[in-house]
């Protein structure tokens, strides 16, 4: 059986030729790629000193590189299933090892194989957008240490203008195979109440869903949902 095509092969390649420095800032909003500096930054994750952190669907690992350089974690694992994104991340930030570790793996499988391994898990329009949350959220909960936190940014509505889904159904997003053929990605764009219910069903507590206004303008400017939850510090009876 042939391997599935890497639908992230083309993503970020042009940017990687000109923006090679470790980012000095960390932004959660959808417009972060346009240089916007509105909204909260890495402080949302808390003090990371000495902690084990993973970026779920890290892409070229720009956010992970920022944390590794400026926030003194024990280690940040930048996890992504794309071979092309792994190659970009290594090319850009291999010098940050061992504090930054670039991992090519299916995010859900990686988390399932790492019980109670992480203090903080986060995703910035990454794996939480493109993986069925009924599978990924329980895996994330199991990979967190007691009291550990999951934080992720996701779209508040579709970039096409359609509202977020009330039901647990993904949208189809156009993509390209490495050789340029049309393909389809599935993206979960859900309402706040749906995310909250899914997090609670996965066994996570202290669920907070905050809406961050877009700093951009025009039809492609989309608000961000900043979602956080925690693994209970001790088992409930």
Q: What is the mean pLDDT of the chain?
A: 91
Question: What's residue 32's pLDDT?
Answer: 47
Per-residue confidence band for 24, with pLDDT thresholds at 50, 70 and 90:
very high
Question: What's residue 214's pLDDT?
Answer: 84
Per-residue confidence band for 183, with pLDDT thresholds at 50, 70 and 90:
very high
- Per-residue pLDDT of 195-213, as tens digits, reads 999 999 999 999 999 999 8
Evaluate whether 181 touches 156 at the Cβ level (below 8 Å).
no
Residue 38 has pLDDT above 70, yes or no: no
Instruction: Name the percent of the chain lying above pLDDT 70.
Output: 92
Sheet with 100-104, strands from edge to edge, namely 100-104, 75-80, 52-56, 118-124, 144-155, 224-230, 205-212
Q: What distance in Å separates the CA atoms of residue 121 and residue 140, rounded to the nearest whole number? A: 8
Residue-level length of the chain:
237
pLDDT, average across residues 51-65: 97
pLDDT, average across residues 98-106: 98
Neighbours of 216 (CB within 10 A): 14
Strands in the chain per DSSP E: 52-56, 75-80, 100-104, 118-124, 144-155, 171-176, 182-187, 205-212, 224-230
Domain ranges of the chain: 13-17+37-153+163-222
| Higher local confidence (pLDDT), 180 or 18 | 180
Question: What's residue 1's pLDDT?
Answer: 38
> Which of 23-37, 45-59, 197-211 is predicted least confidently?
23-37
| Higher local confidence (pLDDT), 231 or 161 | 231
Residue 103 has pLDDT above 60, yes or no: yes
Question: What's residue 220's pLDDT?
Answer: 67
Q: Where are the alpha helices (DSSP H) in 98-229?
A: 107-112, 127-130, 133-143, 192-201
Burial 87-126 (b: 16+ CB within 10 A, else e): bbbbebbeebeebbbbbbeebbebbbebeebbbbbbbbbb
Residue 147 has pLDDT above 90, yes or no: yes
Evaluate whether 133 touches 188 at the Cβ level (below 8 Å).
yes
Residue 234 has pLDDT above 80, yes or no: no
Instruction: Name the percent of the chain lying above pLDDT 90.
Output: 77
Q: In CATH, what is the architecture of 13-17+37-153+163-222?
A: 3-Layer(aba) Sandwich (3.40)
pLDDT, average across residues 225-230: 98
Query: 44-51: long-range contacts (C-beta < 8 A, 24 or more apart)?
Result: 44/151, 44/226, 44/228, 45/71, 45/120, 45/122, 45/149, 45/151, 46/120, 46/149, 48/72, 48/73, 48/119, 48/120, 49/73, 50/74, 51/119, 51/120
Cα–Cα separations (whole angstroms), residue 119 to 75, 115, 157:
10, 11, 29
């Amino acid at each position: 059986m042939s391997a599935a095509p890497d639908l992230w092969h083309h993503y970020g390649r042009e940017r990687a030729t000109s923006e090679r420095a470790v980012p000095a800032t960390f932004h959660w909003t959808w417009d972060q790629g346009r240089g916007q500096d509105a909204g909260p930054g890495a402080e949302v994750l808390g003090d990371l000193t000495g902690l084990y952190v993973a970026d779920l669907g890290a892409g070229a690992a720009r956010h992970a590189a920022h944390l590794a350089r400026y926030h003194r974690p024990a280690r940040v694992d930048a996890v992504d299933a794309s071979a092309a994104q792994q190659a970009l991340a290594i090319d850009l930030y291999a010098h940050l090892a061992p504090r930054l570790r670039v991992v090519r793996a299916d995010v859900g499988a990686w988390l399932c194989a790492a019980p109670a391994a992480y203090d903080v898990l986060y995703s910035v329009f990454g794996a939480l957008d493109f993986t069925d949350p009924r599978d990924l959220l329980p895996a994330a909960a199991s990979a967190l240490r007691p009291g550990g936190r999951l934080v992720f940014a996701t779209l508040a509505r579709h970039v096409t203008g359609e509202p977020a889904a009330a039901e647990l159904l993904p949208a189809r997003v156009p993509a390209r195979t490495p050789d340029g053929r049309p393909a389809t990605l599935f993206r979960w764009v859900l309402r706040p109440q749906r995310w909250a219910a899914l997090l609670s069903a996965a066994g996570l507590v202290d669920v907070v869903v905050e809406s961050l206004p877009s700093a951009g303008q025009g039809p492609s400017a989309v608000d961000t949902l900043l979602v956080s939850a925690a693994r209970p510090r001790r088992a409930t009876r």
